[in-house]
Amino acid sequence: MRSFIARFIIVLGALLLVAAPARAQGQCGTVTELLFPVDLAQFRLAQEFGVASPRHQGRYHTGEDYYGGRGSSYGTPVRALAAGRVTYSAPWGWGRDGGVVIIEHMMPDGSIAYSQYGHMEERAETPFPPRYGCVKAGDVIGSVGNARPAPHLHFEIRTNQPDVPGPGYTWDMPDALGWVQPSAFLTNWEAWLQPAHLWHLDLPAAPDVPPVELEDHSLVYLAANRLRRVTPDGRVLWRVNLERPVVGLFAYQLAAAVVYADGSMQPFALDSTPGERWATNIPLQRQVLAADGRLIFQAADGALVAFGADRQTPLWRLDGVPPVADAFAAPEVLAFLTANNHLLAVSPQGEILDEAALRAPASFAAAPDGGLLVYSVGGLWRVGADGVWSLAKEDAPPGGAGSAVMVGADGGLYTFSRGMICRLPPCVPTLSAYDRSGRLRWQTQLPDVTGAARLEQAGSTLLLVSAGGSIITLNAANGGVCEQMRVYGGRGGWHSLGGDGVLRLVAGAQMAGLKWDGLACA
């Protein structure tokens, strides 16, 4: 009997030890805020996530390294990213390369993430936290140690290895093994914690072309040669692996159709059932524009090829066009900007109206008369249906890369200048509003906006969205900023303000739905 009781106590004790971490996680709470482990006003990113390191035989970096400058990094306090449970804490966890702390975080969507802080040292004023103890966002968990080649913090986010220091470098790409880019994780979750957030979806890769929004506000998108449909509330309804390379996607009947590199096109029904494929016999490189019933591609031989409503017979063809980086369709003029900043102004019938060499990328909008507005570093210009250029606004701030221009619903003109080139300092991103007569109504300086920007007006609210993930709403009457947030963006970028009151957007490899009521100006 005593032997049975002893065995029972041992088993019960083991079960309690196993269960203790789970209970501790519940006691440590769910993440409600995130803070960067070091002060980014002092520290800079010295080595990015996923880069190959010559010092480590070409292996890939599993985190981000932050360095605060010669003589100012060593000994700097390191703080916990967010509330969580400490799963590993050892001042010599990496041997001569310093100490390691790992914290488990319960995210609001129920997912678990682990943050790791490496190359640290323990001091009397900055002790390491105890294992299985709870920490809050901003709690000091150690100091930057004297690691090789210079004192710096190695910062990781991952979904694997909860209580083992990561290797720092892997032979395979770390994002395929459970590591996550730390700055992307932090930026995105700061956005997902905002009241306007409805849902978000991590994509396998950035979409190759803009998604197709269906009548019910579900989205069909193409990424990594897979076609997916996402429900209006952000759930993946179905996915289809495509057997041949895909270069385009467009709305077709009630759903969508894909365009293959061999020039053939194939529709997919609402339930993902593939339809009959048809051929165009024109090998295609990529889709560059879909607007007003036209679908325009860069062909494999470099030509621009436009298809009409039947999606089979080309409407027109322009040979010898360098790779197109951006395109825009105004009612009377189509704009194609090549990678070397050569602008082709083309009629809807495929006639070249004019060509111009620009000093930098530009942004485009439709002029009230159907012509094209070109917002460049040289100012704001109008290109008419006859191909003639004229100055649209004499004193507009310089445009260029990342700029945006829009004619509002009230007939006023709005320009967004990144401030990359300016006549008078300070050179900061600025949104300017002009009335119908061209007089300046207001100007608002904005925080850093990365990537190509787009402007839109919805009632009394102006919306600025950039490919870099910036989302800013302003009062159209006075330029006051109402709300601003950012997700981690990249190339491309897309957004749509649907009739259901949801702003849907794609930035980099993220898709999200945001409550417009939570962003719009009152």
Confidence (pLDDT) at 292: 83
Cα 144 to Cα 122: distance, rounded to the nearest angstrom: 9
* Contact by Cβ (8 Å): 376, 392: no
- How many whole angstroms separate alpha carbon 383 and alpha carbon 345? 8
Tokens 């809807």 found at: 348
3-state secondary structure of 116: strand
Residue 182 has pLDDT above 50, yes or no: yes
- Whether 492 has a pLDDT exceeding 80, the answer reads no
321-335 pLDDT, tens digit each: 999 999 999 999 999
According to DSSP, the β-strands at 372-376 and 153-158 are unpaired
pLDDT category of residue 72 using cuts at 50, 70 and 90: confident
CA neighbor of 176 nearest in space, from 87, 65, 64, 49: 49
Task: Name residue 318's beta-bridge partners.
Answer: 304
Beta-strand runs (E) in 91-196: 99-106, 112-121, 134-135, 140-144, 153-158, 169-170, 179-180
Q: Say if residue 21 is preceded by a cis peptide, omega within 30 of 0.
A: no
Asked whether 376 and 399 are in contact (CB, 8 A), the reply is: yes
Share of the chain above pLDDT 70, in %: 93
Q: Which of 103, 122, 247 is nearest to 161 (CA)?
A: 103
Mean pLDDT score of the chain, rounded to an integer? 91
What's the CA gap between 116 and 101, in Å, rounded?
Answer: 6
Both tokens of 243, joined, read: 């057997």
Distance CA 205, CA 207 (A): 6
Does residue 384 surpass a pLDDT of 50? yes
Task: Please tell me the predicted confidence (pLDDT) of residue 147.
Answer: 87
C-alpha span between 389 and 409 (Å, rounded): 24
Going along the chain from its start, the domains and CATH numbers come out as: 21-181 (2.70.70.10)
Separation CA 302–CA 319 (nearest Å)? 7
| Residue 389 to residue 371: CA distance in whole angstroms | 10
Average pLDDT, stretch 136-145?
A: 97
* Alpha carbons 9 and 184: distance in angstroms, whole number: 47
